[in-house]
Amino acid sequence: MTDHDTSVSVGRRRLLLGMAAASGACLLPTAWAQPMPALKEGRLVVVLLRGAYDGLSATIPYADPDYRRLRPSIAIPAPDGTDQASIKLDATFALHPALAPLLPLWRDGVLSFVPASGSPDPTRSHFEAQTHWEIGMPGKSNAPRGWLNALAGMATATASGSVAAGIGVGDANPKILSGPATVRLIPRGKAAATEGSLGNQRTREALLDLYGGDDEVSQVFRQGADSRMSSTRQLAVEEKAAQGGASAAGLPLDARPLGTLMRNDRTLRVGFLSAGGWDTHASQGGVSGGLAKSFGSLAAALVQLRADFSEPGDIIVVASEFGRTCAENGTRGTDHGHGNTLWLIGNRIAGGRWHGTWSGLSSANLYEGRDLPVHHDFRSIFAQVLQSGFGLRDSQLQDIFPGAKDDARLGRLINSA
């Protein structure tokens, strides 16, 4: 097993692991490592790839002798300098060629990933796993709020309750943003720049008259209507300026309004995007094919987001509810798995390298003999991000991720300011 952690001293690591061994666990309880000054203007954008994307085709363990054995039809060729092969990152991993637009971020040291991470819960149900991920409680089926809503509430704790700190683009009512804190929700694609039924003056006046009272429902409706009208006015200007120059569909189209709105309203510190279509059970493809096209769309969206979120405290995280099987199936696809690759982008990210533990693809090291293990709980990764960008205390991290623990094996994901 290889521990890819060169940023934490050997002595400190031994101390932490010794404490963990003494407590009978490999994770330390709520003693979040690497405290550092928070940046008051930090912003977090979370991109959730719904359907369980294949991380082994994104960050390819090309040097592992078991990789091609497990994937005789869909393995991405080892780096050879051509556009029909993977792109070398280091001696262990390479990048899918469709993700080549991300290579400059890696070389600039602002892109990193954790290759065997995810939720510790064993479910392979999309619905259950996404619920666990969005409420920040693996194994739980419900919660009064999503964890990004909890974070948005903390970000506006000293402001008026009507101030929105969170915004979601795409999903009508994502669980991750549901809860008591005020958030803004924008529809997917070009619909974000339209006013819907509120665009009709007679309808708008009738609705505002109907919800003109002081009761809670009326106040929430008027707040939502004002938010929708304000957002569409901002985006209409942006859409006109960008005609002919932007991607026509998918994540890149959703990334642009998120950047526009969060750039124009600095009270918005928490952003959320999601995209489905990552459930590649059949005809997954290799260098080309359906998954490669999805990777191209993802790369374009991340380049767009990086352009809009490149200030010192900005961090973009890309994740999925679980991974996919290490071996291809009989229809040249992959089935529901366990561990996966989580991406981080930002100026303070310790980038240009990957983090955590990688144990390879031999059968003895796979989860249930078929999947990547989850060496690193996604909550431990986000805890470092939130501590850096929002200055959260241990008690606040526990409010967002109940029961989560620090993971000394991750090392320092975030550089000091």
Domain range summary for the chain, segments of one domain joined by +: 2-192+248-410
What radius of gyration do the chain's Cα atoms show? 22
What pLDDT is attached to residue 31? 52
Report in angstroms the alpha-carbon separations of 162 from 89, 228, 245, 258, 400.
Answer: 45, 14, 35, 20, 21
* Residues in the chain, overall count: 417
Q: What is the DSSP letter of 77?
A: P
Buried b (16+ CB within 10 A) or exposed e, 366-380: bbeeebbbbbbbbbb
Q: Which two tokens stand for residue 381?
A: 């990764």
What pLDDT is attached to residue 136? 98
Nearest one of 131, 125, 170, 164 to 147, comparing CA atoms: 131
What pLDDT is attached to residue 165? 92
Torsion angle of the four alpha carbons 345, 346, 352, 358, in this order, in degrees rounded to the nearest 10: -50
Q: What is the DSSP letter of 282?
A: S
What pLDDT is attached to residue 172? 82
Q: Which two tokens stand for residue 340?
A: 């996966």
Nearest one of 143, 205, 207 to 180, comparing CA atoms: 143
What pLDDT is attached to residue 170? 83
What pLDDT is attached to residue 163? 76
Contacts of 314 (CB under 8 A, 6+ apart): 42, 43, 44, 45, 346, 347, 389
What pLDDT is attached to residue 84? 95
Q: What is the mean pLDDT of each run of 10 residues along the chain (417 residues)?
A: 44 35 37 50 92 97 97 98 96 98 98 98 97 97 95 75 82 92 83 50 60 61 52 39 34 93 93 94 96 96 97 96 98 98 97 98 98 98 92 93 94 88
What pLDDT is attached to residue 33? 53
Interhelix angle 216-242/251-264, rounded to 10 degrees, is 110
Topology adopted by domain 2-192+248-410: Alkaline Phosphatase, subunit A (3.40.720)
Neighbour tally for 335: CB within 10 Å: 18
Q: Where would I find the beta strands (DSSP E) of 247-311?
A: 270-275
